[in-house]
């Protein structure tokens, strides 16, 4: 019988690091903001990155890659993995360790055998010499940008202003267990020292042949449920806990004596051969890394040079599109009523947004371009959008504290519309980003329990009605409310 993997939120609550209410708040935030549950916990200031990484390691039965491990990463080793594969697999090599020079690979989720085989081939090692480790999504994305120049999407940068809104809460009846089976036992404490990481090396007989073709890695699920299989071996480990102020109180199981090949923790400076693994100039500390997780740049910020100015105005496509572009042809209903019902029944946040954009495209012929933005802190960040002319939309972030039609629509929770001649400068920047320099800007709020969580900005033909906008927004609000309610169960 397959042992059930505990959910991340359950682990953190059982460990006393979070309350049930905090986990539920993060689950609600996840519906609107996207990203992993742990990312939302950090952004809500409920948890730091290292304790989160430790909890992820215990959830997936893998070592946790902490700030100190990234600080001592080997740049030469990191350069051996191509930026393309690092981005596809959301992983970063850290260092070589032990007499057999096993390689620690940090990723935001367990890597399947196919991806491990590709990584081993890139690093010119046998797959059995890889030691998979897990780290928080925010840290992996920061390291991908720092090491490989893989630009972080605006979703993973800080939003200005207050970033802990009171997400709507709904009364939820308790759900009965489907069976009377006992809950899975708590996971043992898993190692975070590099000596113990080596115990996680993969079996030597794991095939390392590089596939002829490489497909895009499947995106990780938004919820905290783990993948069906992980790359961890069943080797016994010396089990240690980390000394956090409120550490994970999971029983420590006894283990065998460490193998002679295993290194002591990297903080032990007495080991001379560590010079092979630790760069002479360590990477920045966690404190400085936190500073590098910079604020989202908005269209109101002065651009850094002509290239960024063009990007902010939508004249060139940015490498990261956050799923913006031509509207998807989903065809969820032949009439507006059928389409809005499909929005209400949508099963996921991205599906809701896709249906919203498709419905506007189909039933608002006077709409030249549209963008759906998520409110996060004092910033509205672009999510899904389209241009009828077929151009690609780059990233956009609109400040909510500098005036303009979008902030007023959020504040009043009402549809607002103005012709181009009456728009403020920041609104004209939005129109330019949408590829329009004439017509009307229409802003439609999407609210949940009278709280605006998203807005739709539409560049329409001057004076022409966009009658479908409000029923589409109402359907999206109902869908998000249902998803938030379901997330709290």
Q: What is the pLDDT of residues 184-240, one digit of tens each?
A: 334 334 444 445 444 444 554 444 444 443 333 333 333 343 333 333 332 222 222
Average pLDDT score over residue span 274-279: 26
* Structural contact between residues 36 and 46, judged by C-beta atoms closer than 8 angstroms: no
Instruction: Output the CA torsion sign for 423, 424, 428, 430.
Output: negative
pLDDT of residue 355: 96
For residue 64, list its beta bridge partners. 134
Q: What is the pLDDT of residue 98?
A: 85
pTM of the predicted structure, to 2 decimals: 0.71
CA dihedral 26, 32, 36, 42 (to 10 degrees): -50
Assess contact for 18 and 224: CB atoms under 8 A.
Answer: no
* Average pLDDT over every residue of 43-49: 92
pLDDT for the residue 245: 30
Residue 435: pLDDT band by 50, 70, 90 thresholds?
very high
What confidence score (pLDDT) does residue 223 get? 39
Average pLDDT over residues 385-393: 84
Going by C-alpha positions, the residue among 451, 433, 316, 333 that lies closest to residue 386 is 433
Q: Which residue has the higher pLDDT, 199 or 54?
A: 54
> Which range, 52-66, 210-224, 257-271, 311-325, is most confident?
52-66
pLDDT at residue 178 above 80?
A: no
Give the model's pLDDT for residue 235.
Answer: 27
Q: Is 310 helix (H, G, I), strand (E, B) or coil?
A: helix
Residue 162's pLDDT band (boundaries 50, 70, 90)? Answer: low
Whole-number average pLDDT of the chain: 75
Half-sphere exposure of 7 (CA within 13 A, CB side): 15
Cβ-Cβ contacts under 8 Å for 53 (sequence gap 6 or more) = 64, 65, 66, 134, 135, 136, 139, 192
Say what the pLDDT of residue 72 is.
93
| Cα angle for residues 345, 347, 231 (degrees, 5° grid) | 170
In the structure, what pLDDT confidence band is assigned to residue 250 with cuts at 50, 70 and 90?
A: very low
Residues of CATH 3.30.450.40 domain(s) within the chain? 305-487
Architecture of domain 305-487: 2-Layer Sandwich (3.30)
For residue 54, the model assigns a pLDDT of 95
Residue 350: the pLDDT is 95
Q: Which pLDDT value is given to residue 308?
A: 52
How large is the average pLDDT for residues 392-411?
Answer: 91
Residue-wise pLDDT tens digits, 309-328: 554 444 333 333 334 444 44
**pLDDT > 90? residue 166:** no
Token reading at 469: 């906008």
pLDDT at 285 over 60: no
Between these two residues, 161 and 33, which has the higher pLDDT value?
A: 33
CA distance 158 to 135: 19
Q: How far does the chain reach from its first CA to its final CA, in angstroms?
A: 26
pLDDT value of position 268: 26
Residues 6+ apart with CB under 8 A from 343: 332, 352, 355, 356, 359, 472, 475, 476, 478, 479
From the number of C-beta atoms within 10 Å of its C-beta (0-12, 13-18, 19+), residue 47 rates as buried
For position 148, what pLDDT does the model report? 96
Which H or E run contains 466?
none
Average pLDDT value for residue range 287-300? 60
Query: Considering just the CA atoms, what is the radius of gyration of the chain in Å?
Result: 24
């Amino acid at each position: 019988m397959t042992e059930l993997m505990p959910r991340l939120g359950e682990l953190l609550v059982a460990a006393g690091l979070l309350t049930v209410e905090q986990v539920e708040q993060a689950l609600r935030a996840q519906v609107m903001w996207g990203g992993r549950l742990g990312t939302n916990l950090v952004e809500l200031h409920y948890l730091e990155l290292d304790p989160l990484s430790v909890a992820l390691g215990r959830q997936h039965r893998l070592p946790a890659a902490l700030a100190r491990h990234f600080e001592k990463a080997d740049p030469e080793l990191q350069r051996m993995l191509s930026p393309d594969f690092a981005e596809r697999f959301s992983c970063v090599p850290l260092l070589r360790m032990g007499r057999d020079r096993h390689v620690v690979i940090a990723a935001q989720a367990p890597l399947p055998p196919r991806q491990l085989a590709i990584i081993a081939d890139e690093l010119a090692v046998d797959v059995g010499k890889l030691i998979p480790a897990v780290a928080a999504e925010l840290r992996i994305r920061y390291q991908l940008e720092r090491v490989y120049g893989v630009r972080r999407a605006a979703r993973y940068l800080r939003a200005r202003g207050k970033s802990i809104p009171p997400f709507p809460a709904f009364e939820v009846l308790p759900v009965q267990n489907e069976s009377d089976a006992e809950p899975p036992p708590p996971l043992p404490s898993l190692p975070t020292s590099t000596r113990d990481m080596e115990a996680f090396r993969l079996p030597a007989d794991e095939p390392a042949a590089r596939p002829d073709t490489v497909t895009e890695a499947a995106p990780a699920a938004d919820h905290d449920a783990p993948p069906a299989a992980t790359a961890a071996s069943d080797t016994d480990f010396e089990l240690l806990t980390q000394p956090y102020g409120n550490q994970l109180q999971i029983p420590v199981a006894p283990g065998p004596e460490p193998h002679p090949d295993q290194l002591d923790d990297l903080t032990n400076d007495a080991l001379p051969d560590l010079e092979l693994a630790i760069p002479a100039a360590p990477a920045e500390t966690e404190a400085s890394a936190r500073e590098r997780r910079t604020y989202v740049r908005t269209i109101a910020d002065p651009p850094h040079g002509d290239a960024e100015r063009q990007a902010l105005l939508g004249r060139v496509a940015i490498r990261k599109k956050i799923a913006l572009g031509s509207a998807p042809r989903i065809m969820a209903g032949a009439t507006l009523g059928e389409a809005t019902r499909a929005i209400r029944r949508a099963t996921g946040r991205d599906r809701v947004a896709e249906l919203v954009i498709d419905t506007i495209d189909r039933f608002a012929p006077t709409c030249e371009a549209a963008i759906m933005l998520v409110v996060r802190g004092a910033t509205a960040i672009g999510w899904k959008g389209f241009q009828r002319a077929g151009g690609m939309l780059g990233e956009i972030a609109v400040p909510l504290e500098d005036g303009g039609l979008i902030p007023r629509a959020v504040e009043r929770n009402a549809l607002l519309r103005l012709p181009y001649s009456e728009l403020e400068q920041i609104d004209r920047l939005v129109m330019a980003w949408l590829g329009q320099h004439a017509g009307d800007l229409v802003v439609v709020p999407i609210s949940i329990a009278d709280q605006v969580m998203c807005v739709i900005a539409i560049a329409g033909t001057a004076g022409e009605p966009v009658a479908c906008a409000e029923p589409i927004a109402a359907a999206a609000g109902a869908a998000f409310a249902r998803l938030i309610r379901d997330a709290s169960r």
